[in-house]
């Protein structure tokens, strides 16, 4: 793994893909733990098009040691730095017949433990007793997102489509994308690979057309402390 090159790719383009971070047997073990869980909790979202688990690392502690293998720990240390910790985690399962698609957007909110009035923090949303807020831009710019792929993913089963370099343009409204100057990339990732991206990178995904499922574990990392009245709701060192 040439992580120096990967680090510069993230900085310049807003994303990179690293293959073979997890072996087939590690992916099998992670899948097994997920299969064995009780899915009736309210942090789980189930529909024909999508199954999602919010606060994934908190809800399924048995998966943590499997996810943070030596490869991933090295990637985090070398690319992000010594002081990064997990601040948000979601598991997405897009089933084989899913019509779920996601329009272009940036990830503009962080998960926190409560709602307090703070300068430059807002707007706020609350879902299932979870508080999300748009923080100041410098906090968003500092976050890295790691997407672990449990299945081969390409344009036919909802691989992320992204606009390279859009992470460097601040808040970028999707309706203002000028396709005369911007390009679209499809981020194909094979089982066991990871995609790393900056949350401000414009991204979306299409419907599944090839009858293959797409399962992804999405984990966000930061090294920033929030104002003292506020805490990251899922902080995990």
- Given pLDDT bands bounded at 50, 70 and 90, which one contains residue 20? very high
- Given pLDDT bands bounded at 50, 70 and 90, which one contains residue 186? very high
Domain boundaries, the chain: 3-104+142-222
HSE at residue 185, side-chain half, CA atoms within 13 A, is 17
Please calculate the CA angle 83-167-191 and round it to the nearest 5 degrees. 70
Q: What is the mean pLDDT of residues 182-202?
A: 98
Q: CB under 8 Å, gap of 24 or more: what pairs does 57-66 form?
A: 57/86, 57/89, 57/219, 57/234, 57/236, 58/89, 58/234, 58/236, 60/33, 60/34, 60/91, 62/33, 63/30, 63/33, 63/34, 64/236, 66/26, 66/29, 66/30, 66/33
Supply the pLDDT for residue 174.
96
Percent of the chain predicted with pLDDT > 70? 99
Contact in structure between 161 and 182 (CB atoms under 8 Å): no
Percent of the chain predicted with pLDDT > 90? 84
The dihedral built from the CA positions of residue 24, 26, 28 and 31, taken in this order, carries a sign that is negative
Q: What is the mean pLDDT of residues 99-109?
A: 93
The dihedral built from the CA positions of residue 195, 196, 200 and 201, taken in this order, carries a sign that is negative
Supply the pLDDT for residue 99.
82
Averaged confidence pLDDT in the chain: 94
Separation in Å, CA 18 to CA 10, 15, 110, 189, 194: 11, 10, 25, 8, 5
- Given pLDDT bands bounded at 50, 70 and 90, which one contains residue 91? very high
List the single range of 77-86, 97-106, 195-204 with lowest mean pLDDT.
97-106
pLDDT in tens, 207-218: 989 999 999 999
Q: Which one is the CATH code of 3-104+142-222: 3.40.50.2300, 2.60.120.620, 1.10.10.10, 2.60.120.460?
A: 2.60.120.620
The neighbour count for residue 126, using CB atoms within 10 Å, is 10
The neighbour count for residue 118, using CB atoms within 10 Å, is 15
Residue 133's H or E segment, with its range, is: strand 130-133
Supply the pLDDT for residue 189.
98
Q: pTM here?
A: 0.95
Q: What is the mean pLDDT of residues 149-174?
A: 96
Residue 83's H or E segment, with its range, is: none
Supply the pLDDT for residue 219.
98
CA 178, CA 176: separation in Å to the nearest integer?
6
- Given pLDDT bands bounded at 50, 70 and 90, which one contains residue 163? very high
* Helix, strand and coil in the chain, % to nearest 5: 25, 30, 45
């Amino acid at each position: 793994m040439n992580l120096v090159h990967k680090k510069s790719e993230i900085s310049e383009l807003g994303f990179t893909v690293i293959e073979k971070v997890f072996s087939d047997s590690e992916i099998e073990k992670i899948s097994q733990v997920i299969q064995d869980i009780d899915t009736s909790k309210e942090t789980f979202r189930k529909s024909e098009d999508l199954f999602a688990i919010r606060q994934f690392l908190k809800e399924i502690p048995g998966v943590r040691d499997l996810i943070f293998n030596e490869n991933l720990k090295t990637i985090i240390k070398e690319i992000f730095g010594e002081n990064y910790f997990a601040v948000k985690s979601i598991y997405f399962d897009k089933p084989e017949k899913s019509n779920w698609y996601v329009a272009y957007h940036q990830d503009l909110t962080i998960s926190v433990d409560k709602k307090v009035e703070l300068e430059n923090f807002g707007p706020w949303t609350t879902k299932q007793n979870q508080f999300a807020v748009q923080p100041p831009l410098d906090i968003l710019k500092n976050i890295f997102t790691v997407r672990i792929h449990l299945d081969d993913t390409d344009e036919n089963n909802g691989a992320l489509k992204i606009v390279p370099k859009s992470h460097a343009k601040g808040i970028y409204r999707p309706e203002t994308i000028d396709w005369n100057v911007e390009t679209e990339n499809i981020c194909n990732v094979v089982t066991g690979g990871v995609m790393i991206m900056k949350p401000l990178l414009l991204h979306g995904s299409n419907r599944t057309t090839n009858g293959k499922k797409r399962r992804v574990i999405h984990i966000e990392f930061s090294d920033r402390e929030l104002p003292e009245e506020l805490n990251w709701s899922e902080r995990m060192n």
